Amino acid sequence: MHYNWDWGVFFHSTGIGSEIYLDWFVKGLGWTIALSLAGWVIALLLGTVLGVMRTLPGKVLPRIAAVYVEIFRNIPLLVQLFVWYFIVPDLLPEGLQTWFKQDLNPATSAFISVVLCLGLFTAARVCEQVRTGIQALPKGQTNAAYALGLRIPQIYKEVLLPQAFRIIIPPLTSEFLNIFKNSSVASLIGLMELLAQTKQTAEFTANLFEAFTLATIIYFVLNMGLMLFMRWVEKRVRVPGLIALGGK
Q: Which residues bind other proteins (CB under 8 A)?
A: 1-4, 6, 15-17, 86, 90, 98, 101-102, 105-107, 109-110, 187-190, 192, 196, 199-200, 202-209
User: Which is nearer to other proteins, 37 or 99 (by Cβ)?
Assistant: 99
Least distance to other proteins from the beta carbon of 105, Å?
A: 5
User: Smallest distance from the beta carbon of 89 to other proteins, in angstroms?
Assistant: 8
Amino acid identity, position 78? L
In angstroms, give the least distance from the CB of 219 to other proteins: 17
Nearer to other proteins, 86 or 146 (CB): 86
Q: Report CA-CA distances (Å) from 101 to 80, 96, 105, 106.
A: 18, 9, 8, 7
Q: Is the dihedral of CA 22, 110, 116, 178 positive or negative?
A: negative
Judged by CB, which is closer to other proteins: 36, or 197?
A: 197
Any residues with CB less than 8 A from the CB of 7 and at least 6 apart, and which? Answer: 210
Which residue, 158 or 203, has its beta carbon nearer to other proteins? Answer: 203
Phi, psi of 137 (to 5 degrees): -75, 145
Q: Which is nearer to other proteins, 79 or 107 (CB)?
A: 107
The residue type of 12 is H
Q: Which of 45, 80, 51, 48 is nearest to 65 (CA)?
A: 51
List the alpha helices (DSSP H) in the chain: 21-55, 60-74, 77-82, 88-91, 94-98, 106-136, 139-147, 152-154, 161-167, 169-182, 194-205, 208-237
- Shortest spacing between CB 114 and other proteins, in angstroms: 14
CB of 198 to other proteins, least distance (A): 10
